[in-house]
């Protein structure tokens, strides 16, 4: 039976959403909040203030979520989506102040028959 580590580090992907959204007016703040909530409801983790990431077992599995994010970009919003392999993501160096932290790990995968 396959384990959680059976996914190739080159096949499994992290979809990163990096964004700057205008928040100068009440309606802009509302749209920015709705966008962040959309990311969270689609399984993204907040990695930094305007950087969110989500693990996928393959690039193909990320297509519906990428489409949903594209459609939700607020007017005047600046959003970048980037796919990284799990192997690339795992090489990320994470610091908080002078302390080095471990990068996030891929979620546990369940095998369904």
Q: Any idea what the CATH number is for the domain that residue 24 is in?
A: 3.30.70.240
Residue (of 19, 22, 3) closest to 53 by Cα position:
19
Contacts of 76 (CB under 8 A, 6+ apart): 21, 22, 28
- Is 112 domain-assigned? no
- Is 74 domain-assigned? yes
**What is the band of 109 on the pLDDT scale with cuts at 50, 70, 90?**
low
Answer whether 86's CB lies under 8 Å from 15's CB.
no
Domain count, the chain: 1
**What is the band of 7 on the pLDDT scale with cuts at 50, 70, 90?**
low
Domain that holds residue 42: 8-90
Q: What percent of the chain has pLDDT over 70?
A: 83
pTM: 0.80
Residue 108: what pLDDT?
Answer: 65
pLDDT tens per residue across span 58-101: 999 999 999 999 999 999 999 999 999 999 999 988 888 877 77
Residue 2: what pLDDT?
Answer: 43
């Amino acid at each position: 039976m396959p384990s959680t580590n059976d996914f190739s580090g080159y096949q499994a992907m992290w979809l990163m959403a990096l964004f700057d959204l205008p928040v100068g007016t009440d309606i802009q703040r509302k749209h920015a909040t709705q966008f962040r909530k959309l990311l969270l409801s689609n399984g993204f983790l907040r990695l930094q203030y305007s950087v969110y990431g989500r693990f996928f077992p393959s690039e193909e599995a990320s297509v519906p979520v990428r489409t949903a994010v594209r459609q939700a970009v607020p007017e005047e919003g600046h959003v970048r989506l980037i796919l990284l392999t799990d192997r690339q993501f795992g090489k990320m160096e994470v610091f908080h102040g002078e302390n080095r932290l471990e990068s996030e790990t891929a979620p546990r995968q369940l095998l369904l028959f």
